[in-house]
A and B are shown apart, each in its own frame.
Chain A
């Protein structure tokens, strides 16, 4: 692994750090390049370290793409298996996490296709469990949690209506905090196309949420 690659990986982190929300881990050790090199040579301890550094990003992304924990876990496992398998092919002049995101999107697309075959729904049940669990909390907290759960459910449904590429673009840009150029690189597309996809996705989400609120307002006494 060259020093340039280390710097590249570090720069990628720093660039993302400015936009990432607080709960997204941004600490990537300087030894990432060495870890990648060792893992590519078959060192499982090094690979486990890489997993520890990227598992939260991967899980979050797979959950956002697929909408439920079970699929997200399966997808994350498959992502890491592919990362290990193709680590030897990883070009050292590109940012590592962008490459991981690329694999993540491919795996999610494969799993989503399989799910479409079996006609399963993009609706998570774990939110309902969470909503039920807040009943035992104190009233104010419970209400707040319930609103949060409802909002998340609303977004889950809104995002489920988006085409796969639009969904990926908006999640990477708005939630993972990557730049349009980085998203374009991950999606092997151009910045203009990504901008157009993001614009379209935002428009659809606004329309969906607006319709939902109107319906709720009409139903309210």
Chain B
């Protein structure tokens, strides 16, 4: 064996990892070769150094905390698993063959109930989402001011009239819940007549109803019509 053959075997030779036969050949070479012998010593020295690569002494407290941490984590995970297991078992039970019909019936009942509730007419008017009562007096107000805004440009009489009209309209809204839009218009005409009579005021009145369709607005006018090209500018439907 020459140096070229021996050198790659030295790392294994120093720790006794070579087979006996090869180990003897290397040993024989080392006795005659100072250079390879030096390299072998270096390997032995590095191996000794490696043995000193020991971790610091960990205290019992560190190990106790390690165990505690692990056990806590296991318990935390097992709790989470229990809950997820309960839910998964519940849903699994629902899809089991003998539960399928019950599940289907349950789902059907839920769907029908939801459908019924969604189609049931509400207490509010179905089409008229918003009713805006506007008063005329275009010369004073300048424009159809919203009653709810409570602008100071209205006279006391006008305000009273508006309030009365509003009450009536509200009452009517409750009374005609569920009625179709065509009936509504007649009802409102009556309302406006009732409203117009006691006041005997010539001031025009304007009632607007916004339907669910943004493009359709129902407007009732009573009293003298506003002047064409007036400040309001709005037209009847």
Contact = CB atoms under 8 A, between A and B. Distances in A.
Q: Secondary structure at chain A's binding surface: helix, strand, loop or mixed?
A: helix
A77 B55 contact: no
A134 interface: no
Contacts of B47: 174, 202
B51 A77 contact: no
A111 interface: no
B70 A152 contact: no
B70 A73 contact: no
Interface in B43-72: 43, 45-47, 49-56, 58, 62-63, 66-67, 69-71
A96 interface: no
Contact of A202 (B43, B66, B67): B43
A151 B52 contact: yes
Given A48-B67, A51-B70, A152 B11 contact: no
Most buried by A among B55, B63, B67, B75: B55
Contact of A84 (B49, B66, B70): B70
A205 interface: yes
Contact of A210 (B17, B42, B51, B55): B42
A213 B53 CA distance: 17
B interface, size bucket: 20 to 34
| Range of interface residues on A (Cβ < 8 Å) | 35 or more
B15 interface: yes
A131 to B, nearest CB: 12
Interface in A168-219: 170, 173-175, 180, 195, 198-200, 202-203, 205-206, 209-210
Contact of B52 (A23, A52, A155, A206): A155
Among B49, B53, B58, the one with the most A-chain Cβ atoms within 10 Å of its Cβ is B53
Contact of B50 (A76, A80, A180, A205): A205
Contacts of B55: 59-60, 63-64, 69, 72
17 contacts: A23-B54, A44-B74, A47-B74, A59-B63, A59-B66, A63-B56, A64-B53, A130-B56, A152-B52, A156-B53, A174-B47, A174-B51, A195-B12, A202-B11, A206-B11, A206-B42, A210-B42
Interface of A: 21, 23, 42, 44, 47-48, 51-52, 55-56, 59-60, 63-64, 69, 72-73, 76-77, 80-81, 84, 126, 130, 148, 151-152, 154-156, 159, 170, 173-175, 180, 195, 198-200, 202-203, 205-206, 209-210
Given A44-B75, A64-B53, A81-B73, 12 more contacts: A52-B67, A55-B66, A80-B66, A80-B67, A155-B49, A155-B53, A175-B50, A195-B17, A202-B47, A209-B45, A210-B42, A210-B46
